[in-house]
Each structure stands twice: as structure tokens, then as C-alpha cells.
Amino acid sequence: MINIPKGTKDVLPSEVYLWQHVEKTARETAAGFGFREIRTPVFEHTELFLRGVGDTTDIVNKEMYTFLDKGGRSITLRPEGTAGVARAFLEGGLAGGVLPAKMYYLISAFRYERPQAGRLREFHQFGAELYGSASPYADAETIALADTFLKNLGLKAVTLKLNSIGCKHCRTEYHKALKEYFAPHLHEMCEDCRARYEKNPMRMIDCKEERCKVYTAHAPRMLDYLCNDCKAHFETVRELLDEAKIAYTIDPSIVRGLDYYSRTVFEFASAAAGAQGTVLGGGRYDTLLEQMGEKPIPAVGFAVGIERLLMVIAAENAPVPNEERPAVYLLGMDAQSRKKAYLLATQLRTENISCEVDLMERSVKAQFKYADKLGARFTVVIGESECAAGAAEVKDMKNSSSERVEFARLAQYIKERL
Ligand code: ATP
Ligand code: MG
């Protein structure tokens, strides 16, 4: 047998209802905030991610699934959703339409990573993007959408961490300060950090290596270098979250792993989300479109990993709806009754009543056992005498009662009791 590729997972029919629950909650919550779905291709030109995600990120440097197609073009499976949505926003002419443009997506994404709990090579995200507003209200609204989504899933122990990483102006000062601070320790830090020191010293702040953490823990904080505009922006975001009673902690160590962020950055974390702890990450990216060669349009967004979310749902024992059961199992006791059951099922389905019949030509006893396993609300029993009488024996499994019902009245009878 050929096995599943490393870092990927099947969702079997018995567990798919959990995914559908998360997806339904995502769609309903997004709709409540006026976000509409956008769908973009699974693969894009590699260039889009080089420019859109940024060439100092781990994603671009180490994790992309890139290949040449038969036409010799460099293609990459999307490692995240934002760059593709930005491209579609521009290409679809939405930049010239009504703003803000509020969009959400439910996608699979691909990163060549070392698989572990909560870290896969194909994973899934729910994400949201808000284009066109630089106002702190847009940040607060986006964070509120993320927060409401997690609350709608019944999660309680997921905490919001907030930071501001300023704009390109105040970050220049900050980078200078970081370089001064790290210079004497650089020879003791990891290779990645030495490269980051040259290209993007702020990225050193969230290095996961123990030998680097020793130094990053006491590094200068971006919050102390914010310019007046960025400071005021951040203060208003905080005020709006306070007023909406969305709890958060300020965490100066959050800088996010993508090059396009500016000002507000945030994460929702839970101890149950695997070694990394982060379930959802987001922030403002006012320079993304500019980086992609367009005029600057401010934007803010987030993405949440669905596999990690399911780990948190399980760990918190959050309520999930039961898997849907068929309403009716129709049981034929002999050849003639089996055909009657089959025909009645087709009729019931035209009335939107879900039902199943025997497809295995099982014995009566085995059919009763199967009906039990299915958990159908009604078992409709048809035998020789029922066929002759034109009526079935309907067992209501909820209260173990049983009643004779004419075939012609069956749909009505069931509908009244569902
Ligand atoms: P991490 O620090 O864990 O590597 P990240 O910063 O790379 O996360 P983002 O690019 O911000 O993650 O993606 C948003 C969310 O997508 C993450 O918070 C996580 O829930 C999920 N995610 C990212 N990479 C993976 C992966 N390889 N497997 C499963 N989920 C992932
Ligand atoms: Mg990562």
C-alpha cells in the first residue's frame, strides 16, 4: 500500500463533522461582521510570495513548495492566504471599488516544515482581511472578529497578546538600537540571527533558540521607540478593545513571522495548541501592496490554523454539535418489502427527509442492529402483512413507541415529529 505523504492528514467521515462545525462557525461569524468569502488558487507565481511574504522570512527561505511547471514557470503552493488575496484584490479591481473591502477565506496551505503536533505540511486556515482603512477602528474590528469567532466556538482559555511594531520610520531608529544591543553578543547567537542582524534585526526578537533567548529577553522594546502617530494609533486600538471588553496582554516579544506587518500585531495563544502555542496570528500590513508594486493601501488581517484550533477544542472539551443522523431507516423483511422500502425512501427524500435502506441484503436481525448503529430517529418496518395493508410499522426510537402508519401518510407523520 502507498502511504499518505509525511506531514499531511486525512479527515475521515467520522471526524469531518468537527471541521464542518468550525467552518460553519467561521462563515457565520464573518458574515456577522460583513466579511464576504474570497477564493483564490492553490498555487501562484513564486514571485508573488517572494514579494508578498518577504525574503527574510522562514516561509520564503525554507518552507515553500516550489516547482517548475511543464511550461517552465516557477510555481509555488500557497504557504499562506494573504498574498493571494492581495493579488486578487488588485487584479479584480476591488481597490477602485467600495472600501473597506472585507474578505475571509477557508483554505489549505503548504509549508515544508518538520512535522510535529500542530505543525503539518498541508494545513488549513480561516483568515480575514480588511483593506482600505488605516483607522485603529479597523484593527479593533478585525481583532474583535477573531475574538468573537473563538468565543463562538466556546473557547475560554485562549488569550490575546498584543504589540505594536511601528512603521518604517520609527523602526529605523529601533533597528539601530537593536544592532547596538546585539553587536557584542552576535558571535554567540545562531546562524539565522546573524543573518537577521544584517537584513531585519527585529526578527531576532522571536528566535526560538535558547542561546538567543538569553539576549533577546532583555533587548530594547519596539514600544519604547514608537513615533507619535504610531503611539496614538496603538493607544486607540487598546482603548477600543478595552471598551469592547476584549481582554489582552501587551507582549513586546511578538513581532510576527512575515515581512509585511506594521503597527498592530497580535496572537491568540493556548497551551493546548502544540509546542508553539499560537493558534491565531495577525496584524496590520500597510506596506504589503506597496511591496507588491502598487500604491499603498492600508490593510489588517489574521489567520487561524484549523488543526491547532481542533486541538484546543478537544483540550478544552468545548461543546460541539452531535454528528447528524439520518431521520429514518426503512427495513424490508422480505424481497417484496425490500423493494417497497426502497421506493418509499425515494419518496421521503423528495420531502427532504433523510433516510437509508438496506444495501447489503442483510437479514432482518442484522438490519435492526444496523439501524441501531445508524442512530436513525425512526425505523420503518415493512413486511408481508404491512405491504398487504398499505401501512408500515413506525418505531420512534426516541420514546420506544410504535404505531401503524399508512404509506401515503408516512412523510407527513415523520415531519410532524422530527
Ligand atoms: P509558528 O510560529 O507556529 O510557525 P507562524 O507564525 O508560522 O506560526 P502564521 O504564518 O501566522 O504562523 O499562520 C497563522 C496560523 O496558521 C498559526 O497560528 C497556526 O495556527 C497555523 N499554522 C502555521 N503553520 C502551520 C503548520 N505548519 N501546521 C499547522 N498549522 C500551522
Ligand atoms: Mg511558522
Ligand 1: residue whose CA is nearest its atom 5 = 257
Same domain, residue pair 340 and 299: no
Same domain, residue pair 243 and 375: no
| Residue 196 lies inside a defined structural domain of this protein | no
| Residue 376 lies inside a defined structural domain of this protein | yes
Same domain, residue pair 312 and 333: no
Q: Which atom of ligand 1 is nearest to the CA of 206?
A: 2
| Residue 182 lies inside a defined structural domain of this protein | no
Of the chain, the end-to-end C-alpha distance in Å amounts to 44
Same domain, residue pair 302 and 351: no
C-alpha grid cell, residue 142: 478585525
Same domain, residue pair 409 and 263: no
pLDDT at 257 over 70: no
Same domain, residue pair 90 and 42: yes
User: How confident is the model over 101-110, as a mean pLDDT?
Assistant: 98
pLDDT band at 80 (very low <50, low <70, confident <90, very high): very high
**Which range is least confidently modeled, 15-24, 31-40, 290-299?**
290-299
Q: DSSP assignment of 112-177, as one string?
A: ----BTTB-SEEEEEEEEEES--SHHHHHHHHHHHHHHHHHTT--S-EEEEEE---HHHHHHHHHH
Same domain, residue pair 231 and 351: no
d(CA 41, CA 44): 7
Q: Final residue of a domain: which of 272, 290, 316?
A: 316
Ligand 1: residue whose CA is nearest its atom 1 = 276
Same domain, residue pair 249 and 392: no
- Per-residue pLDDT tens over the stretch 328-384: 999 999 999 999 999 999 999 999 999 999 999 999 999 999 999 999 999 999 999
C-alpha grid cell, residue 109: 496551505
- Per-residue pLDDT tens over the stretch 217-254: 999 999 999 999 999 999 999 999 999 999 999 999 89
Count of domains for the chain: 2
pLDDT of residue 23: 98
Same domain, residue pair 40 and 147: yes
Q: Final residue of a domain: which of 316, 350, 374?
A: 316
Same domain, residue pair 398 and 287: no
Same domain, residue pair 270 and 410: no
| Residue 340 lies inside a defined structural domain of this protein | yes
**pTM (two decimals):** 0.93
d(CA 291, CA 250): 28
d(CA 177, CA 171): 10
Residues with Cβ within 6 A of ligand 1? 80, 111, 113, 118-120, 123, 125, 257, 276, 278-281, 303-305, 307-308
pLDDT at 275 over 70: no
Ligand 1: residue whose CA is nearest its atom 3 = 276
Domain of residue 95, residue span: 16-167+227-316
pLDDT at 186 over 80: yes
**Centroid of ligand 1 to alpha carbon of 195 (angstroms):** 22
CATH assignment of the domain containing 382: 3.40.50.800
| Residue 357 lies inside a defined structural domain of this protein | yes
Q: Final residue of a domain: which of 296, 316, 336?
A: 316
Same domain, residue pair 264 and 290: yes
| Residue 210 lies inside a defined structural domain of this protein | no
